[in-house]
Structure 1
Amino acid sequence: MAPELLTPLDLAFWSIESAGHPLHMGGLVVFDADAPDAAQRAARLLAARAARTPGLNTRIRPVWLPVGAAARHVTPDYDPLDHVHLAAPVRDFCAAAGTLMQQPLDRGRPPWAAHVLPGADGTSFAVLFTFHHAHADGMRAASYVLSLLDPTDADGTPTDADRAPAAAEVPRPRKNGSGLRLPDPRTLPGLVRGAVTDAGRALSIGSAMVRAAWDVHSSPALTSRATGARRADGAVVDLRDVNRVRDSTGGTVNDVLLAVVAGALRRWLDKRGDDSDGVRPRALVPVSLRDPRDPGASGNRLSGYLARLPVDEAEPLARLRAVRAAMERNKQAGPASGPGAAALLADVIPPLGNRFGGGLIARSGRLFYDLLVSSVPLRGAHGLTLADSPVRDAYPLAPLAPGQSLAVGITTYEDRVCYGLLADAVAVPDLDLLARSIAEEAAELVAVCDT
């Protein structure tokens, strides 16, 4: 297979990472063990399936042309045992995941790993999957994880677990999904019109970013010196409760999930003695531009919305209404405009700009958003197992930008909404307090809607 050039956005993600500040995403999947040796069998299965999963064997290497660019190459000596690791038994899966998330992926190998964590009590185990953001966006990473679990029929019934997994497709050049115009290269007028269109859109997005950077109502608790230390935690909310709130108030499930984050932040700040008055942090909510008919396509296909979280609003339903209004404004404007669409600017920056401007790009994130709140759908996933052990929970761990102390990931599996929290361990030693606040906020929303 010929090398595949990284897209500008992929190159930007690859370039902004530093040894002291890893920039990979994770997914902590917890299983109910069907036998005491379930974790050991899971590790063997993962290694065997990873050997047969196209895309997992590609590493990133610089190329001569274009200058400053990089490409994905198939690794000739690829060995899944370099990526699947069986740990000693642990008592706290989230604590172990936090420690592992602060370890950079080996940039000389395909940038992914699977850490199998046996539970100390023998009744459960977990797998922490990690992928560099240059290798996969959230949906692509989810497709990799699903391909490594036990195969299932359309109704979710597990089938022969030893057959080759339904793998992601072989990486191939992506179609334009950024919203930026692709002119007809055969005509000079087409090139000129395309350049003018792209420049105008870049100017619009850039000016929106500047305005967002001027109007800051955040909290010092959400900013930190980039230490590279990590802490992880999670919270689970009943999806039926979320649907009850949505049915009572209108809007979308995602509106309710964001409102829960806003209320949990308010509780957390108040409990730790910080002031929540006037706090309206800017939450970057990634938007996938991936074609649902082409889930295996390589590269990142992302834009985003920027939403103010009404942390300073005391009344739960008022917080929900404010979140819903903010998201409706974003959707009306579309994912190719506004400060949340900053990812699209990578397409108009030459490779050398992304390569050598990585440090500046990394530090600029905190200027226009305060925390990442990313929703990772597990499309059609139910009845999932590994080594015949059923999935209990799945916590997405979003990458943490330099200068920010907290990132929130959300996914829904069967009747459970799982919030995955990744934080700077120095800045947020009380992440468990925020996890409890999520559950408390969801319960209060349900109670208010039931009265």
Structure 2
Amino acid sequence: MIERMSKVDTAWLRMDTESNLMMIVGVWTIRPRITLAQLRERVEARLLQYTRFRQKVVEDALGAQWVEDEDFQISRHVVQEVLLPMRGQSQLETLKERVGELAAQPLDPNHPLWQFQIIEDLDGASYLIARIHHCIADGIALISVMLSITDGGKAPPKRQQQPRDDQDWLTDTVLKPFSDMTVKAIGLAGAGAGKSIATMINPPHPLDSSVEMARMGYQAVSDVAAFALMPDDSHTRLKGKPGASKRVAWDNGLPLDEVKAVSKALNTSINDVLLACVAGAIGAYLRDKGDDPSGQEIRAMVPVNLRPLEKAYQLGNRFGLVPLVLPIGIANPVERLYAVRARMQELKGSFQPIMAFGLLSVAGLLIKPVQHAMLNIFAKKATAVMTNVPGPAQALKFCGSEVERVMFWVPQSGDIGMGVSILTYAGKVQFGLITDSGLCPDPEAIIERFAPEFEKLLWLALMLPWGEDAV
């Protein structure tokens, strides 16, 4: 069976550069350990139920096609990894170094664009390193896929996996009445956008329709103009021309209950608290390097899901991008938190996620040099790509063992040299960082500052009045 790749997925396929490969990289910590044979058996039984993971990519004059790989071999895609620590290097340090190497190593274009590496035994646990090209699916869809291969999970029937092209998706999302879930999904970037489109399509009164259409038209034009006229991002040591070497880091996680308590006490969202910690950690890192970030802000391009979550199994890419400003120059943690909240409020009602999706659709039709020039517009406006994904509330089981930790890293497009990943899993909030080795050779120095930044907010929240008499 041959399928035409959607324009947006084609854009992600062609976005690979020597500096930035468009792979989503993840690591599972599984305890007690599992074997290579167990992993291959599970992958064959579950993952390969998704036809996309048996298909290779064949490019042509019109874009690209998904074609069944007649030479598919599980031994090529699920392989054993052996770590050999250097003298004075811990096994964990060796693991992080290897993940960074794999993040910069291209997948074989002659076969399906994914690979799993398993380290069978490291301190009594197994580590599963997954690399999947972004043209197969976005992060939300891959969470759905990975859940389906855990104990008790199940892939959807093949007849439900029929791909939808960009026009079908845009028709379903914009020209047909919105479901509550779709409105909520777009509401992640701005509740006003979803509500406005829904009101336009199902107006209570004809006059309301005309007014809303005019308001939406003005908002859309304003968003396009604002993005085009947006100045390039602030120059810091984290921004520049990346090379071909990557480094990764991750932390031990923050208790989700404590993050919720702080957000409630300070009257902000959980997302505001986490983003304030990210901004504070980056600012502190720059100060420790002798730089003065006072008054500086950097932008992070943030993916926003644009499809109902129950359709994530259909794979492909269905998300937009919004530029979020991080006030790294504000040292006061409370002032920084409320600055982040104000920035998030500014995004409400924005059409930028849908606009970005449309730009990617157009980019998928262009020749590669023009596409890269177009996509570098995004890179000039931002220092990092950042994503925040809600994972399962309870720890997963895999082949009878517990998945203790789930971590992943997002790819960076163009000349962006940093990716920040936030994942909520099993009662903890995990931070992950991937950086260009030349721009930031020590990402762990940023990661280790997340917890102290959160602790500042936690202590301030604990100092607030408690009880019914509290104001």
2:230, 2:133 → 1: CA distance? 28
Q: 1:30-82 CA deviation, whole Å, 9 max, x = no partner?
A: 122x25x546633543355333343211222224xxx4321222323322222
Q: Higher mean Cα deviation, 16-25 or 397-406?
A: 16-25
- CA gap 1:326/1:177 in 2 versus in 1, 3 angstroms: farther
1:133, 1:201 → 2: CA distance? 30
What's 1:172 paired with?
A: 163
User: For the Cα contact (< 8 Å) 2:238–2:417, is it kept in 1?
Assistant: yes
1:262 counterpart = 2:261: no
Question: Once the two structures are aligned, what percentage of the paired residues are identical?
Answer: 23
1:24-39 equivalence runs, <5 A: 24-32=23-31, 34-35=32-33, 38=35
What's 2:150 paired with?
A: 149
- CA gap 1:292/1:374 in 2 versus in 1, 3 angstroms: same
Q: Output the TM-score relative to the length of structure 2.
A: 0.80
User: For the Cα contact (< 8 Å) 1:281–1:309, is it kept in 2?
Assistant: yes
1:41 counterpart = 2:31: no
Question: Whose helix fraction is larger, Structure 1's or Structure 2's?
Answer: 2
Report the Cα offset of residue 18 of structure 1: 2.6
1:151, 1:412 → 2: CA distance? 21
Q: How many residues align?
A: 414
What's 1:100 paired with?
A: 102
Q: 2:69 aligned to 75, 81, 90, which one? A: 75
Q: 2:359 aligned to 332, 339, 345, which one? A: 345
User: For the Cα contact (< 8 Å) 2:372–2:414, is it kept in 1?
Assistant: no
SS in 2 for 1:326: helix
Report the Cα offset of residue 437 of structure 1: 0.7
What's 2:225 paired with?
A: 207
2:336, 2:352 → 1: CA distance? 25
1:179, 1:272 → 2: CA distance? 49
1:407 counterpart = 2:419: yes
Moved over 6 A (4+): 197-202
What's 2:453 paired with?
A: 441
User: For the Cα contact (< 8 Å) 1:46–1:148, is it kept in 2?
Assistant: yes
For the aligned residue pairs, the C-alpha RMSD in angstroms reads 2.9
User: For the Cα contact (< 8 Å) 2:382–2:416, is it kept in 1?
Assistant: no
1:293-312 equivalence runs, <5 A: 293-312=310-329
User: For the Cα contact (< 8 Å) 2:145–2:155, is it kept in 1?
Assistant: no
Report the Cα offset of residue 108 of structure 1: 2.0
What's 1:187 paired with?
A: none
Report the Cα offset of residue 318 of structure 1: 1.3
User: For the Cα contact (< 8 Å) 2:224–2:355, is it kept in 1?
Assistant: no
1:327-338 equivalence runs, <5 A: 327-330=344-347, 332-334=348-350, 336-337=351-352
1:361, 1:77 → 2: CA distance? 36
User: For the Cα contact (< 8 Å) 1:308–1:326, is it kept in 2?
Assistant: yes
1:251 counterpart = 2:244: no
What's 1:59 paired with?
A: 56
SS in 1 for 2:314: coil
1:12 counterpart = 2:26: no
1:125, 1:438 → 2: CA distance? 26
1:127 counterpart = 2:128: yes
| Structure 1: runs of 5 or more not aligned | 153-163, 184-196
- CA gap 1:435/1:275 in 2 versus in 1, 3 angstroms: same
Q: Higher mean Cα deviation, 388-397 or 53-62?
A: 53-62
User: For the Cα contact (< 8 Å) 1:27–1:395, is it kept in 2?
Assistant: yes
1:225 counterpart = 2:241: yes
Report the Cα offset of residue 165 of structure 1: 5.3
SS in 1 for 2:294: coil
2:317, 2:155 → 1: CA distance? 23
- CA gap 1:425/1:359 in 2 versus in 1, 3 angstroms: same
Amino acid in the other structure paired with 2:118: V
- CA gap 1:167/1:439 in 2 versus in 1, 3 angstroms: farther
Amino acid in the other structure paired with 1:371: A
1:94, 1:84 → 2: CA distance? 19
- CA gap 1:10/1:120 in 2 versus in 1, 3 angstroms: same
Q: Output the TM-score relative to the length of structure 1.
A: 0.83
Amino acid in the other structure paired with 1:284: M
SS in 1 for 2:135: coil
User: For the Cα contact (< 8 Å) 2:40–2:74, is it kept in 1?
Assistant: no
1:116 counterpart = 2:125: no
User: For the Cα contact (< 8 Å) 1:234–1:435, is it kept in 2?
Assistant: yes
1:47, 1:19 → 2: CA distance? 32
SS in 1 for 2:21: coil
What's 1:155 paired with?
A: none
Report the Cα offset of residue 173 of structure 1: 1.5
SS in 2 for 1:409: strand
Q: 1:326-376 CA deviation, whole Å, 9 max, x = no partner?
A: 11221x223x237x94332223x2754254523313433321222111112
| Structure 2: runs of 5 or more not aligned | 85-90, 177-214, 464-471
What's 1:139 paired with?
A: 140
- CA gap 1:202/1:356 in 2 versus in 1, 3 angstroms: farther
User: For the Cα contact (< 8 Å) 1:61–1:73, is it kept in 2?
Assistant: yes
